[in-house]
Amino acid sequence: MAYNYIGLVNDVNRRLNEVELTTANFNTAVGFYSFAKDAVNAAIRHINQEEFEWPWNHIEETEVLEAGVVRYSYPYDAKTVNFNTFRLKGNTTLGVQTRKLKSISYEEYLDKYVDYEYNSSSNNRGAPIHVVRSPNREIIFSPSPDQEYEVVYDYYTLGYDLSKATDVPNFPEPYRYVIIDGAMYYAYQFRGDMQAASFADERFKQGIKNLRSLYINRTDYVRDTRVHF
């Protein structure tokens, strides 16, 4: 079965001995079939909400700065932004080399560098050195840029719902069964079979636990920095 929206919905239909949908009737499906579509998306949303940094939701973003502007909005689909990944992109025309920006707290920014935000003098501008996470989900660069620098950083998306029959999840295909177990939990609830729903929920939770072990849990190594003579 194809790994796309209609394929996942039909996985649910087959498990419940229901007639499979086709691309011709997928968009107009009603009743249980419409619910099965919702169940697949609900399972995907649940998985995406379980962790902030699933690797399949990772995005590398480039922000083009505007001279004199210090505040920039988060990407519309950002769940979390990694402020330790901001780097100024090297550009010989602008006379800058690639370097990492230092992340500082909003409080430190207000104490030491906030004048960059209010002093519009061109003498008060330059290539950004610091990046700040503001309380209202904005990205602040300090000092105020004097040219259209490019800044690259990493963030993780919220994920997305499937809509068209041929839409493909960004979730790894080998673990499609985790999506199906989650969808079956909702499907059994729809049918009123709470015992089967409970079993499906346990499998769903175990599947998420396995994904977390594979993709999230890390063992950081310790490096010996002693100097031996």
Question: What three-state secondary structure class fits 229?
Answer: coil
136 and 182 fall within a common domain: no
In a domain, residue 225? The reply is no
- The torsion defined by the Cα of 163, 164, 170 and 171, in degrees rounded to 10, comes to 80
Residue carrying the six token digits 């920095």: 225
- Assess contact for 50 and 58: CB atoms under 8 A: no
User: For residue 64, which phi and psi values (nearest 5 degrees)?
Assistant: -90, 115
Task: Write out the residue range of the structural domain in which residue 169 sits.
Answer: 5-53+158-215
**99-134 confidence digits (pLDDT tens):** 999 999 999 999 999 988 888 788 889 999 999 999
* Contact present, 167 and 4 (Cβ < 8 Å): yes
Does the residue 26 lie in any domain? yes
| Domains contained in the chain, number | 2
Full-model pTM: 0.85
Point out the domain boundary residue: 130, 148, 166: 148
Are residues 80 and 133 located together in one domain of the fold? Answer: yes
- The verdict on 80 and 128 lying in the same domain is yes
In a domain, 110, yes or no: yes
Asked whether the beta carbons of 67 and 148 are under 8 A apart, the reply is: yes
182-201 pLDDT tens trace? 999 999 999 999 999 999 99
Q: What is the C-alpha separation between 189 and 199, in angstroms, rounded?
A: 11
Specify whether 48 is located in the same domain as 72: no
203 in any annotated domain: yes
Residue 167 in domain: yes
Residue 16 lies in a domain: yes
Q: Please list the pLDDT of the chain residue by residue as tens digits (229 residues).
A: 799 999 999 999 999 999 999 999 999 999 999 999 999 999 999 999 999 999 999 999 999 999 999 999 999 999 999 999 999 999 999 999 999 999 999 999 999 999 888 887 888 899 999 999 999 999 999 999 999 999 999 999 999 999 999 999 999 999 999 999 999 999 999 999 999 999 999 999 999 999 999 998 765 555 656 655 4
Do 17 and 46 fall into the same domain?
yes
